[in-house]
Structure 1
Amino acid sequence: MTAQTSGALTVLVTGASSGIGADVARQIVAAGHRVYGTSRNPATVEDPIAGVTYVRLDNADYASAAACAAEVGAVDILINNAGESAAGAFEDTPMDAVEHLFAVNVFGPVALTKAVLPGMRERGRGTVVMVGSMLASFPVAFRTNYAATKAALKGYAMALRREVAPYGIRVVTVEPGTIATGIGERRTIHIGDDSPYRAEYETVAAATRANEAKGISSTAMAKTVVQAALSEQPKPFYARGNRAPVVFALQRVAPRQLVLDLTARIHGLAKIRP
């Protein structure tokens, strides 16, 4: 697939202060494009990237999406990357925490996408990239709410792709596998000290830490995001990490229960039939 060659593009990357977002912003600047990167507190970005203009965005504050879009102006490419990670027992997670996670990981990106779409539609071009997670395709116990938010984001992207296609707008989903970004240290966890789920949660948590320690780098993952963003004819879906080509091929041909069992096994859980 060929990259866009229509001169310098204006690219808005959310969550550009660290991790995948920072590497995406860095690579797009290196490609010669204008980059705006969001942060909840632009003035406190610890390692600002030369060539990136930082603007405020709080995904949980939908009004900030409109303010961000107004500040940036015309956007050629929007990369919805910002989000939060969460884990724990479904029963132990309070509803306000579930609502907050959906606000940050789903409704915030939706609000920002809605804010930039009119301009893209009027100009007859644009690309929106939703950065999700392979947990949307391969959900695992004790990541229920997080997997649900990423599945929702994927659903929005897949449905929206055809809706805006007549106006020259492309919508793409990118699903990272396990990435070595240190996100586990910032993950919100809900598990009671005396929770009946605690032993199995600890098993999954330990497996997750081990998988993340040997995951692919955020720089490598960012290359896939940038490829999707700059392509003239992007595919609807990209995935990288966790042997993505193999596991997605397996998902297409294997019984769903087998795929769920294998996903659980990778996270240290034994196969159990209710």
Structure 2
Amino acid sequence: MSSSSVSPSSPSRRTALVTGASSGIGAAVATALVARGHHVYGTSRSPEKITSPIPGVEYLALDLTDHASVEACAAAAGEVDVLVNNAGESQNGPFEELPMDAVERVFRLNVFGAVHLTQLLLPGMRSRGYGRVVMVGSMLASFPLAYRSSYVATKAAIKGFSDSLRREVSPFGVGVSTVEPGSINTGISERRTQYVREGSPFEAEYRTMVNTLNANEAKGVSAEKVATTVVRAVEARSPRPLYAVGSNAPLVFALRRLLPRSVMLRIVARKHGLR
């Protein structure tokens, strides 16, 4: 399918903005939306450094930790119908040992930047009577894991914003969803920021968790499979609040409804090598 065509099952050509489109899930989502016939902006902190730009994607500079950069990106994009908040940082560390500046940074990047960008683009969607906002979260927001507290908290936060926002904007034709991927094979393990002190009393267990996490991700779903789920949320006539993909999502969410929360937390811990 050419980038200028739209399949019979897709809506009319829309303008989409995908954050973090230089690699991983963001690049896969941008590629999929172009293939569906949409006009796509992709963001990167340094668009000029992208070595393999996606055909059909226009790149915009965006640093989500900088309010002025967020505002400039929104202004450059103009009238956006679809916003996919994907960019973020994956962070690990024993809770006691997480530097507060690192915690604040991950919240600025994963939460506050996405919230600010959404606030800037929503009025246009509302006034035009159509919009789609997708927050790319993590299944860890539904199934928290030890030593990932800061990251889990950011993903729970954006899901909270998303779930609360839905009712506010749905009367104006704007759909809001969260997509929660499980383990994803995107090379994110090499980019994750980690904080653990030498000689930490948590170090042995922390390393067990990280090694198991990395092994799970190596066997995880592809970025393209997550992108397919994001596109479903974007193009649904009535988007659901939550879409989950990977890590046996249908089974584990069913178990979450049936089992006590304490049991599910133990299951998640054991899945990551913790006893």
- TM bracket, shorter-chain basis: over 0.9
Structure 1 residues 240-261: Cα deviation after superposition (integer angstroms, max 9, x where no partner): 0110000000001100100000
Gaps of 5+ in 1: none
Match of 1:162 among 164, 167, 173: 167
* Counterpart in the other structure of 1:50: 55
The answer as to 2:259 corresponding to 1:257 is: no
Say which SS state the counterpart of residue 91 (structure 1) adopts. Answer: helix
Structure 1 residues 11-65: Cα deviation after superposition (integer angstroms, max 9, x where no partner): 0000000001001100110111100000001111121000000001111112211
Say which SS state the counterpart of residue 248 (structure 1) adopts. Answer: helix
Corresponding letter in the other structure for 1:239: A
Query: In structure 2, what is the Cα distance between the partners aligned to 1:242 and 1:262?
Result: 13
Say which SS state the counterpart of residue 146 (structure 1) adopts. Answer: helix
* Counterpart in the other structure of 1:134: 139
* Counterpart in the other structure of 2:152: 147
Measure how far apart 1:190 and its partner are.
Answer: 0.3
For the 8 Å contact 1:3–1:227, the answer to whether it is kept is no
The answer as to 2:24 corresponding to 1:19 is: yes
The answer as to 2:96 corresponding to 1:91 is: yes
Per the alignment, do residues 3 and 108 of structure 1 end up closer, same or farther by CA in structure 2, a change over 3 Å counting? farther
- Which ranges of 4 or more aligned residues in structure 1 deviate by more than 6 Å? none
Match of 2:244 among 239, 245, 266: 239
Corresponding letter in the other structure for 1:76: D
* Counterpart in the other structure of 1:68: 73
Structure 1 residues 87-138: Cα deviation after superposition (integer angstroms, max 9, x where no partner): 0111111111100000000001001000101111111110100000000000
The answer as to 2:14 corresponding to 1:35 is: no
Query: In structure 1, what is the Cα distance between the partners aligned to 2:178 and 2:68?
Result: 24
Measure how far apart 1:4 and its partner are.
Answer: 4.6
Per the alignment, do residues 159 and 4 of structure 1 end up closer, same or farther by CA in structure 2, a change over 3 Å counting? farther
Corresponding letter in the other structure for 1:98: V
Structure 1 residues 216-253: Cα deviation after superposition (integer angstroms, max 9, x where no partner): 11111111111111212111110001100000000011
The answer as to 2:66 corresponding to 1:77 is: no
Gaps of 5+ in 2: 1-7
Match of 1:186 among 186, 191, 204: 191
* Counterpart in the other structure of 2:4: none
For the 8 Å contact 2:10–2:36, the answer to whether it is kept is no
TM-score by length of 2: 0.96
Aligned residues between the structures: 268
For the 8 Å contact 1:3–1:232, the answer to whether it is kept is no
Tell me the C-alpha RMSD between the 2 structures: 1.0
* Counterpart in the other structure of 1:269: 274
For the 8 Å contact 1:20–1:222, the answer to whether it is kept is yes
Say which SS state the counterpart of residue 143 (structure 2) adopts. Answer: coil
The answer as to 2:14 corresponding to 1:9 is: yes
Q: Which moved more, 1:169-178 or 1:60-69?
A: 60-69
Per the alignment, do residues 94 and 3 of structure 1 end up closer, same or farther by CA in structure 2, a change over 3 Å counting? farther
TM-score by length of 1: 0.96
* Counterpart in the other structure of 2:129: 124
